[in-house]
Amino acid sequence: MIVVVDYGMGNLRSVSKALDTLGASVRITNEPALIERAQKLIVPGVGAFGAAVTELERRGLVAPIIAAIRRQVPYLGICLGLQLLFDASDESPGTRGFGVLPGRVRRFPIPLGDGLKVPHMGWNRISPRADGQGPRCPLLNDIPDESFFYFVHSYYGDPADRSLVARETEYGVRFASMLWRDRLFATQFHPEKSQALGLKLLSNFLSL
């Protein structure tokens, strides 16, 4: 069973529709018991870090999500679902995230220069790491380097461990746009809004 976590802050229908297109059996839920039984777990989200943590805690979802990650249940975090993996965020000082990945979420500096605006909204490339290091993430199978994906965000994750960075994107600064460790995957971009390549990435996740 593929579980999409509902905490009131995600474009759940777009994610669910994309997975339905791929023939997946999907449950959208805010029930901790279903998260505990998930074979794969997707945490999407658009909104504020602090409000998301508050809603997840109110619904009793934080502990089962963290437990699933620790059990190596395949996890895909999308946008805010990536940011929640970190210890903290500049968006909500004093609010603790899942703490699964060391590091914090940072705001794009303003001004960015070159007429770039915040939020970062629209299509942008995801590129191999600038240092040329790191294995190829299995979610990128049959997806060419420098492919375009769709972004909507004002903050980005800054991992303390750079080996987690599977892809980077340039937008005034170079930031981590995709993270990978073992069976934990996270994208700052929205695969469910990224047309054929987004569906391919989701298909690769389903095939794990």
Task: Establish whether 153 is a catalytic residue.
Answer: no
Answer for the pair 1, 27: CB distance below 8 angstroms, yes or no.
yes
Catalytic residue among 55, 91, 168, 192: 192
Task: Establish whether 120 is a catalytic residue.
Answer: no
Q: What size, in residues, is the chain?
A: 208
SS3 state of residue 157: strand
Question: Could you tell me which of 13, 191, 176 has the C-alpha nearest to residue 102?
Answer: 176
The first and second tokens of residue 170, run together, are: 């340039």
Answer for the pair 80, 10: CB distance below 8 angstroms, yes or no.
yes
Task: Establish whether 192 is a catalytic residue.
Answer: yes
Listed in sequence order, the residues at least 6 apart from 33 whose beta carbon sits closer than 8 Å to its beta carbon are none
Strands 165-171 vs 184-187: parallel, antiparallel or unpaired = unpaired
Q: Torsion-angle region of residue 89: left (phi > 0), alpha (psi -120 to 50) or beta?
A: beta
Catalytic residue among 79, 91, 137, 153: 79
Answer for the pair 156, 166: CB distance below 8 angstroms, yes or no.
no
Residue type, 91: E
Catalytic residue among 55, 120, 137, 190: 190
Strands 184-187 vs 173-181: parallel, antiparallel or unpaired = antiparallel
Q: Which residues are annotated as catalytic?
A: 79, 190, 192
